Structure 1
């Protein structure tokens, strides 16, 4: 976006473009009773069905209509529950709501529905996962004292309800990405019942999105039904009458069900499964997300003793033969990372990680310069995915550096708890993707107190200053340059080792016409092709 006196996002115009995506239709027998169109999708057992508690949940995305959202028909960010989002300085934002929108129980969606939800989510003592999305709102620090004291307030002072249809939000610093932030589930509205009867609401959530909650059979399935009262355009929803999230602990079990005709959609398909799927399910079963929005990394907590030296971290990076792994194990369905951001982002600079090129001899020399490493490098990771990949990476580090490496697999919930509690014992292998398309979504992990920073705890005042400047810059080219400068400083300390950009595949049955949005698959956007 070029620099303008007025930043505005209105219903008739889009804020930014994303890469176009395709879809395919097929035939099948998923019609339920009386011709009901039903699609099933892979799901893990939800922590919560409330969007603010689990913002990345596919269920949350289906049941909530955000203020802003990417329309899959136009591939642009457009107002959805909002009528307009405007600012003259990118710091104070005026939000006007659509007229006469309601929750699924008929209660009106008002400015208070958003403000009350935001205040509860932003209050640290509630321990909702969406809390960090409000870190740049004025008043956030008062709701999140770092010394363990009682919060000084119960509301974000930067959020003002003007009237039933109008809100004003003031940020601590200018942020041209704010309309994109409004497309995330953590900023969904909540009805009054969520506050008057929170336990009842958790068990039977009501929202304002295209699908409504029907049932949750724990560790088995979550059922959603199309809501006829949804007022958004077709590009904000899908074609199924009923969505069934079938719960699995591993993608292999989901794949087995798909081959048996008992599942319609899988996301984040491992590269090692792609060739098998082509052979067993056919080429048409694969859906490729065109925008490369994900990256594998090895993040290193700053508090882990023995791993503090940047030269040691760079030696570890140089000991990994990314090209060989991408070609063999990943079968060409990944590319080597050479930056902390994927190439699909404007701030990407080829080769910004100069220690991401394999050099076994150079790695050993750098290890010696760092004073060697006598301990055991522990790599913690989610046990339900990518086990072969992390095993190969660990073996290369061990063989090429001559150090001991120990894998520590665990469930994702345990890994998250260890992150949040600062109890990690070594590096963390994982996959990171954006909530909206911006370099900030990657680099804020390395900003003091930024989203995702809890893993490494990295802090550099010069980086923080550049991040604030980049976020507030309304000229996209200048903003990208500032983000690139921030990355260059981060790479000197190497708190994170870039590994791979995976080719992102989903699997679909003939009945599921998949759609992606913001670089990721969203099951509730799927068309019904039978």
Structure 2
């Protein structure tokens, strides 16, 4: 039996961060394999680290001039602040307490709202809830609170972004008919409520990472009130996490406050009494506000801004994430006919001088990527991407032999960040390959919508990170119908079979080998072009103490340092 003792509080990430537990590799620690897979919550409790300077109960003034311990952070105007509708939302993460979560102090995946998560075969899972948990409005959190939320999120007709999280659940296909017809079911057949504190989940196939899936935003619970008036709930969601929703002034800010009823321990929350998400359309005005003392936290700081921040704000303002969990890529949609040539994709990749960009523009705050998974994962194979080697002459020949390219390569990107980088990439492709390239920057919400609705007109530049530490977090987006697959719509039956086998394999080394085999096939087809593994930085004011959660920064986990 696998047993993990719950030591304390909750963590989150915008590309959330947590390990897939229950299996041999949990929280970064290797454990012996056993037939019984289980995660059990214990009673131990640790206080927030001294360096976090928790402001609980204090009336200290923050950098925002508040009379309570307030921290502010940069965000864009949310499409939704409901966790199931925007899985990457830092706001949603603060509002929700998942069944499982990574403890910022132990850096291990542990039960939170769950008392235990266990399985004999990694296919049928038994979940027992903690006793006495409630939502922010005082109503009880029950097994139905999870089952109802999961059914709604998994229903394709609802078009909630968290839908893909439930691909592996039995009954998902019936809720998401591929032919566009009306669903023949209203619930996931694999989710059964036993009683108020017990439910079972049956998956389509064994998945060693299932407990980690339970740490992600789409698996948050929802109270009955969420389904009484969906529009009202969208504007003022009620959940069960360490922070409680207060207000949303559209295009201005979202305010949350520490919830006294949160039953999780210190390692699952932060030290601020109030969190304010200030809304910006790009990082530059946010950075200006930080230099003026009007903002406390920025995450995913572009490499082009790091040295300036170090000079203007001081070395102590930079927080460097030690684990490289993120990757920048150009994703190539299979449904864009003019990009369907493998030779074109190879030529584009070979025309990019990653080393030069990493050294000059990015000033060493990134490394060239040569695989579809980052080096931090066991399945990483150095140099797996042959086409990632800079060779402009060979690139031109490959393209010429293929008949050339008379169209325009469109690169869609998030206008809020990395525009200098996208411009440098576009210029290299255009200069080194001799083709026309057009940049198309847009708001992140629009780019996400275009990806999810398969309306991209060209390649999409993006930053991808794990919600929990697993190769599946990167490679499942290349599985037919997999989570994230809408971006490229790539499909290969051999890849599907290998990924399914990798998830079912309980031995770490054997699972990693299967993931390697899958990636070797995908990288030859090149549905996405690896670019860089950025060194991940956050910016913090004197009052904010950022915490690294398995390679991610989550605003609501920050300590209060004033």
TM-score band w.r.t. shorter chain:
over 0.9
- Map Cα deviations across residues 380-427 of structure 1 (whole Å, 9 max, x no partner): 112221111111111111111111111122222222232233222211
Structure 1 window deviating more from structure 2 (416-425 vs 448-457): it is: 416-425
Structure 1 window deviating more from structure 2 (446-455 vs 88-97): it is: 446-455
Q: Which residue, out of 420, 425, 436, partners 2:452?
A: 420
Q: Which residue, out of 197, 207, 210, partners 2:239?
A: 207
- Map Cα deviations across residues 204-238 of structure 1 (whole Å, 9 max, x no partner): 21111100001111111111000011110100000
The alignment's C-alpha RMSD in Å is 1.9
Matches within 5 A, 1:301-316: 301-316=333-348
**Any idea what SS the aligned residue of 2:501 has?**
helix
How far off its partner does 1:296 sit?
A: 0.6
Provide the aligned length of Structure 1 versus Structure 2.
524
Distance 1:57 1:406, change over 3 A: same
What is the match of residue 41 of structure 2?
11
Q: Give the distance between the partners of 1:33 and 1:251, measured in 2 at CA.
A: 22
What is the match of residue 361 of structure 2?
329
TM-score, with length taken from structure 2: 0.90
What is the match of residue 385 of structure 1?
417
What is the match of residue 143 of structure 1?
175
User: Which 5+ residue runs of structure 1 have no aligned equivalent?
Assistant: 15-20
Distance 1:45 1:214, change over 3 A: same
What is the match of residue 66 of structure 1?
98
Q: Which residue, out of 277, 298, 305, partners 1:266?
A: 298
**Any idea what SS the aligned residue of 1:442 has?**
helix
How far off its partner does 1:51 sit?
A: 0.7
Matches within 5 A, 1:233-244: 233-244=265-276
**Any idea what SS the aligned residue of 1:255 has?**
helix
Q: Give the distance between the partners of 2:234 and 2:436, measured in 1 at CA.
A: 46
**Preserved contact between residue 26 and residue 512 of structure 1 (Cα < 8 Å):** no
**Preserved contact between residue 321 and residue 396 of structure 1 (Cα < 8 Å):** yes
What is the match of residue 466 of structure 2?
434
What is the match of residue 478 of structure 1?
510
Structure 1 segments, 4+ long, off by >6 Å, are 21-28, 31-34
Matches within 5 A, 1:269-288: 269-288=301-320
**Preserved contact between residue 257 and residue 275 of structure 2 (Cα < 8 Å):** yes
Matches within 5 A, 1:91-130: 91-130=123-162
Q: Are 1:78 and 2:105 matched, yes or no?
A: no
**Any idea what SS the aligned residue of 2:319 has?**
strand
What is the match of residue 4 of structure 2?
none
Structure 1 window deviating more from structure 2 (362-371 vs 90-99): it is: 362-371
Structure 1 window deviating more from structure 2 (208-217 vs 370-379): it is: 370-379
What is the match of residue 296 of structure 1?
328
Structure 1 window deviating more from structure 2 (145-154 vs 212-221): it is: 145-154
**Any idea what SS the aligned residue of 2:473 has?**
helix
Q: Give the distance between the partners of 1:468 and 1:248, measured in 2 at CA.
A: 40
Q: Give the distance between the partners of 1:198 and 1:516, measured in 2 at CA.
A: 34
How far off its partner does 1:33 sit?
A: 8.9
Structure 1 window deviating more from structure 2 (325-334 vs 36-45): it is: 36-45
How far off its partner does 1:29 sit?
A: 4.3
User: Which 5+ residue runs of structure 2 have no aligned equivalent?
Assistant: 1-23, 25-31
TM-score, with length taken from structure 1: 0.96
Q: Are 1:489 and 2:512 matched, yes or no?
A: no
**Preserved contact between residue 358 and residue 364 of structure 2 (Cα < 8 Å):** yes
**Preserved contact between residue 298 and residue 496 of structure 1 (Cα < 8 Å):** yes
Q: Give the distance between the partners of 1:86 and 1:239, measured in 2 at CA.
A: 32
Q: Give the distance between the partners of 1:426 and 1:198, measured in 2 at CA.
A: 34
What is the match of residue 53 of structure 1?
85
What is the match of residue 467 of structure 1?
499
